Amino acid sequence: MKARSPSVQQAFVLHHYDWSESSLILDLFTREQGRLAVVAKGAKRPYSQLRAVLLPFQRIQVSLSKPAKAGADDGGAEVVGLRAAEWVGGSTLPAGAALFSAYYLNELLLKLLARQDPHPSLFEAYADTLPHLHLKDDAQSQAALRAFELRLLCDLGLLPDLSLSTVTQVPLQAERRYSLSAEAGVVGLETEGASFSGHELVHLQAALLHGSMAALRHACAAVLPALRISLRSMLHYHLGQRPLRTRQVMLDVQKLSDGRVD
């Protein structure tokens, strides 16, 4: 017998759009049920208490009701009704470069997570990552982003075991150089490109298995340049024809701030 979904659960708002003159449809990332489409009736009204609660990047507690029929903009799909929502604490809203990074995380979740597919450990990883995104695009913020990308790919079953050669399934040699790709997995490096030592990949795998985002950020910090290139390629592969808009916006803003024009 299928277990009933909890009516009250922890959530983050990933995205919202208009449903009517007074209501919104929310894309929530919940701990117990994963991504949910939720109707927030009356949320756009000037005096609605929901207006100050249904903000992105804030951990909230939501009370849900039976499914309701959405409008044509949502393809007529059934969505859950929002009965109540309240803020349960957390960090302040990100700003500047950190805001772009936070929206980047949301876009990854929106495009890679299926609806109603629970990922409680990924939910906690998301909550843990947000406070480590800073105003400046520094090494600490980059390590936080790479750690979340690794956890996301791992939870979705899209990341190979980083301690083994993917083809032969033999343990990596500590001093040998390896590359990481979506198609081939972990392979011995035969051409120039982003690479890792066997020791570095084993360290990343150990941090993933440990489950601590702090440990994973520390492991990522040691291999940022190669990891950024490799994970960007892997995400591009799995996203297919769904490019990340936030990444392009970030690049465009950076060019303007640097005074560069293509």
Note whether 116 and 55 are same-domain residues.
no
Assign 67 a pLDDT band (cuts: 50, 70, 90): low
Domain boundary among 27, 55, 87: 87
Question: What pLDDT is stored for residue 167 in this prediction?
Answer: 94
Note whether 69 and 144 are same-domain residues.
no
26: phi then psi, degrees, rounded to nearest 5: -105, 145
Look at residue 245 and tell me if it is in a domain.
yes
> Which of 85-89, 182-186, 191-195 is predicted least confidently?
191-195
- Which residue in 25, 32, 20, 40 sits closest to 82, CA to CA? 40
Note whether 174 and 241 are same-domain residues.
yes
Note whether 65 and 123 are same-domain residues.
no
Contacts of 199 (CB under 8 A, 6+ apart): 172, 174, 175
Whichever domain contains 130, its CATH number is: 1.20.1440.120
Taking each helix axis from N to C end, the angle separating 245-258 and 97-112, rounded to the nearest 10 degrees, works out to 160
DSSP state of 192: S
Q: What is the pLDDT of residues 187-240, one digit of tens each?
A: 998 777 789 999 999 999 999 999 999 999 999 999 999 999 999 999 999 998
Question: What pLDDT is stored for residue 75 in this prediction?
Answer: 44
How many angstroms from the chain centroid is the CA of residue 139? 18
Whichever domain contains 41, its CATH number is: 2.40.50.140
Residues 253, 101, 10, 36: what is their CA dihedral angle, to the nearest 10 degrees?
60
Domain boundary among 87, 114, 135: 87
Look at residue 237 and tell me if it is in a domain.
yes
Question: What pLDDT is stored for residue 251 in this prediction?
Answer: 53
Question: What pLDDT is stored for residue 86 in this prediction?
Answer: 93
∠ CA 12-251-94, nearest 5°, is 30
- Whether pLDDT at 256 is above 50: no
Assign 6 a pLDDT band (cuts: 50, 70, 90): low
Note whether 66 and 111 are same-domain residues.
no
What's the structural domain count of the chain? 2
Note whether 160 and 224 are same-domain residues.
yes
Look at residue 92 and tell me if it is in a domain.
no
Note whether 157 and 105 are same-domain residues.
yes
Note whether 193 and 107 are same-domain residues.
yes
Look at residue 120 and tell me if it is in a domain.
yes
Note whether 126 and 61 are same-domain residues.
no
Look at residue 3 and tell me if it is in a domain.
no
Look at residue 181 and tell me if it is in a domain.
yes
Question: What pLDDT is stored for residue 35 in this prediction?
Answer: 95
Note whether 76 and 101 are same-domain residues.
no
DSSP state of 242: -
Look at residue 108 and tell me if it is in a domain.
yes
Q: What residues does 63 pair with on adjacent strands? A: 8, 84
Contacts of 67 (CB under 8 A, 6+ apart): 78, 79, 80, 81
Which run of H or of E encompasses 239? helix 224-239
3-state SS class at 58: coil
DSSP H stretches of helix in 49-191: 97-112, 120-129, 139-155
Averaged pLDDT of the chain: 86
Of residues 98 and 214, more confidently modeled: 214
Note whether 20 and 133 are same-domain residues.
no
User: Measured between alpha carbons, how far is 10 from 1 in angstroms, rounded to an integer?
Assistant: 24
Q: What is the pLDDT of residues 103-151, one digit of tens each?
A: 999 999 999 999 999 999 999 999 999 999 976 668 999 999 999 999 9
Domain boundary among 65, 87, 109: 87
Domain that holds residue 193: 97-258
When pLDDT is averaged across residues 242-248 and rounded to a whole number, the result is 68
User: Measured between alpha carbons, how far is 195 from 180 in angstroms, rounded to an integer?
Assistant: 7
Question: What pLDDT is stored for residue 123 in this prediction?
Answer: 97
Look at residue 1 and tell me if it is in a domain.
no
Note whether 136 and 220 are same-domain residues.
yes
